[in-house]
A and B are shown apart, each in its own frame.
Chain A
Amino acid sequence: MLLLIIFVLTSVAYVVGRSRAATLRKNGEQLHSLPRYYGYMTAICTAVPALLLLALWSASEPTFLKHSTVKTLPAEVQSLPQGQLDLVLNDIKNIATGGITQTADDPVREASANHYNDRKNTSQLLKSFFVLVASVLGALYGLRKIGVQTRARIFVERAMMTVLIACSCIAIFTTVGIVLSVLFESLRFFNKVPFTEFAFGLHWSPQTSIRADQVGSSGSFGAVPIFAGTLLISAIAMLVAVPFGLMSAIYLAEYASSNVRAWAKPLLEILAGIPTVVYGFFAALTVAPLVRDIFEGVGFEDVASESALAAGLVMGIMIIPFVSSLSDDVITAVPQAMRDGSLGLGATKSETIKRVVIPAALPGIVGAILLAVSRAIGETMIVVMAAGLAANLTINPLEAVTTVTVQIVTLLTGDQAFDSPKTLVAFALGLMLFVTTLILNVIALVVVRKYREQYE
């Protein structure tokens, strides 16, 4: 409702501002900008302060309400530890909104709830009032500013730039926020389990005992086996994706006629559009039994039904489009003059590709492959379904292995206590994974940047 009013006010401000500027212009004033820029300026003055106020108020409202409500509670409740106090407050909120409560008919809480409702309504009213005032004041300020001295066009350009900067800041701050939250949770984990044990331990068995007499809960957090599993599966995936992706890219970029290219490339990219969960059950239900049957058929024993090979193969197929699409782009970006030069010297097409086009595109191709690797390392769904949970330290692709992402999923699904090492280790794993893919991405970016400097 409030937003709608602001919107209407803004529209009105735009129209009024523009017509006012147009009138001034008609009266022979030498305005700096076109009338519509004065309209934009007035609209911005109307909307931005009001919206900022609204956002600030809404963000701080719960904190104020909480403090004010806590003060109405009896002293012994106020002195409760933070966790229990939060529970009481939750309860009060539920009473206030008419939800289900734990403790029925507690007069103290009823009173607090009434107080809460009361304060909330007041806050809402005040909020609406001040926001509208801000909006109207902004509009008046904007209208007053319309005149010869004001350069509305520059003002509007600045405002546009600010909006764009704000948008990019949101993305950056989110990233930083995620990293920090993972980092702090990981630090909590490393307080309980030393970093060296985590990074170099060869045994992974995160089941910690809840009671002292439980059996089979060793609780050892050596991450080496699961990182080894991740690397094994990623390596298999890359063994599939790089040759197939690269060769299809070469075909598409160099040999395919534009007709073939027009339908083959989107078709390949559909592979990237298949949900990974579909790949997952394809891997688990079709490929894994097939792999087991084939290898048992040729005399291998003990082929696990959930093998690293099956997961890696399917993951490789999934990332083919990453390799092929990006490589195709860099191969196409190699200047035609390079090919002409080589062909003009009597090289065949394949010689040209092998000796000139691929070397020239190589940094870009390496970048594409590294991006695909980080995709493979971070991939979750396929390995959850097809790779198994056993943390074997092995390089035999026919055994079941597990990966970092699978472990994070199993550790964090279901009911968990968020202060035991068993759950906290998930954050440490996530951090390690993040650092790994970050390093790969940085390498990829550096390599790609080098590629840009290649020809000039």
Chain B
Amino acid sequence: MNEEVNPLPSLEQDQTSEQTIEEIVASLGDTVGQPRVDDPKMSVSNVDVFYGKKQAIFGVDLDIANNEVVSMIGPSGCGKSTLLRCLNRMNDTIPICRVSGELTLDGEDIYSKDTDPVLLRARVGMVFQKPNPFPKSIYENVAYGPRLHGLNRNKADLDDIVVNSLKKAGIYNEVKNRLDESGTSLSGGQQQRLCIARTIACSPEVILMDEPCSALDPIATAKIEELIDELRENYAIAIVTHSMQQAARVSQRTAYFHLGKLVEVGDTDTIFTNPRHELTENYITGRFG
């Protein structure tokens, strides 16, 4: 059932065959910049991820703070999505995936035996690359999470949660008269905002976004970016993106990955105006990637 999850499609093709990935990664040197923040919401320390025998992430350190958007950029197959999926243990659904190192949420290890991945995913919500509303009504799509977690006491409560989530996702005015229509009847951009509303409805603390705009047109993208900026007030957000303009527009800090290694991390302004690592510079100036 996981065939379509092909985590590292181009890891091997990217490089000449003389060097192994491990050697290349070693040659990249230590992470440039400051991965730590003062008061992290989530913290990643020395994390390695393996798919079977293949290592996809090499010793990554990264913090995500409240009220900020961290963008993760890098060429395809650099492990940014893999790392994102580790943050709410979505990688658990891939049997051959193995994670080592420490990942914490509010200082608690999310991979410890005591952590229930189900509860974790309620606290760390995720928005996917392709809008994936359930083939249910718009209302049911948003009410899905609250119902699961018993967040509402009665129907009126649930109505409130649904309406508020839709409002926060900036889609309420467009759908308020057709809450009983199928979520799949919406346009792509509306579907993605519906998915964000669905995530918000679970009252998460962190929202992970895996290339949320890559399937959308520029206008829908602009709306989502605006929304991400608003959501920053209440949530810690990590976003994987292929668009450097998007990273520059929405994020406060940026992390550049290459072949599973965090090459450079720092304030978005600094990274884009004054990159210190050669690979980062090459990437953001469009010399490859």
Residues of A within 8 A of B (CB): 253-254, 257, 332, 335-348, 351, 355-356, 359-360, 454-456
Contacts and interface: CB of A to CB of B under 8 A. Distances in A.
Contact of A343 (B121, B130, B135, B184): B121
Nearest to B133: A341
Interface stretch (B142-150, B246-254, B257-265): B142-150
Given A335-B132, A348-B118, A342 B144 contact: yes
A182 to B, nearest CB: 41
Name the residue in B119, B132, B184 with the highest tally of chain A Cβ atoms < 10 Å from its Cβ: B132
B202 interface: yes
B134 A356 contact: yes
B193 interface: no
B199 interface: yes
A340 B121 contact: no
A344 to B, nearest CB: 4
B2 interface: yes
A344 B148 contact: no
23 contacts: A254-B1, A336-B2, A336-B4, A337-B130, A339-B93, A340-B90, A341-B132, A341-B133, A341-B134, A341-B195, A344-B125, A345-B122, A345-B144, A345-B145, A345-B148, A346-B120, A346-B122, A346-B149, A347-B118, A351-B148, A356-B134, A360-B134, A454-B135
Contacts of B145: 345-347
B132 A346 contact: no
Contacts of A456: 184
B80 interface: no
B98 interface: no
Judged by DSSP, the binding face of A is: helix
A254 to B, nearest CB: 7
A345 B90 contact: no
A337 B5 CA distance: 10
B25 to A, nearest CB: 28
B10 to A, nearest CB: 20
Contact of A253 (B1, B149, B198): B1
B136 interface: yes
A360 B5 CA distance: 20
B255 interface: no
B107 interface: no
Nearest to B199: A345
The residue among A253, A344, A360, A455 with the most chain B CB atoms within 10 A of its own CB is A344
A346 B202 contact: yes
Contacts of A344: 88, 90, 121, 125-126, 128, 199
Interface residues of B, number: 32
Interface string B161-187: 000000000000000000000001000
B286 interface: no
B148 A347 contact: yes
A360 B128 contact: no
The 7 closest A-B pairs by CB, nearest first: A346-B122, A337-B132, A344-B126, A346-B121, A345-B145, A341-B132, A348-B118
A342 B118 CA distance: 10
A345 B184 CA distance: 18
Contacts of A343: 90, 93, 121
Contacts of A342: 134, 144
B85 to A, nearest CB: 9
B135 A336 contact: no
Nearest to A340: B128
Contacts of B122: 345-346
Given A336-B4, A340-B128, A345-B202, A359 B136 contact: yes
Nearest to B119: A346
A254 B2 CA distance: 10
Contacts of B134: 338, 341-342, 356, 359-360
A361 to B, nearest CB: 10
Interface string B44-84: 00000000000000000000000000000000000000000
Contacts of B184: 454-456
A455 B135 CA distance: 7
Contacts of A359: 134-136
A360 B135 CA distance: 7
Nearest to A348: B118
